[in-house]
Amino acid sequence: MADDKTKRGPADSSRINLSEDYEVAYWTEALGVSKEKLVEAVKETGTSAKAVREYLGKK
């Protein structure tokens, strides 16, 4: 099944996909961080949204 690019949220809300611009935009807004900080967090913790939130000190 192909990605629906009209969707604004992530396809899997438990994972952060840095390959899709719309997901990066969603996560940077949801977490209140820059793209650079999001990339750093994913690089350090992996793609788990929970782990990224913990790394960033977000709930």
pLDDT at 12: 73
Does the residue 10 lie in any domain?
no
Tokens of 25: 């935009």
Provide the residue range defining the domain that includes 42: 21-56
What is the Cα Rg of the chain in Å? 11
pLDDT at 6: 61
Tokens of 40: 């750093």
Does the residue 34 lie in any domain?
yes
The list of the chain residues with pLDDT below 50 reads: 1
pLDDT at 8: 61
Does the residue 15 lie in any domain?
no
Tokens of 35: 């793209």
Does the residue 12 lie in any domain?
no
Tell me how many domains the chain contains: 1
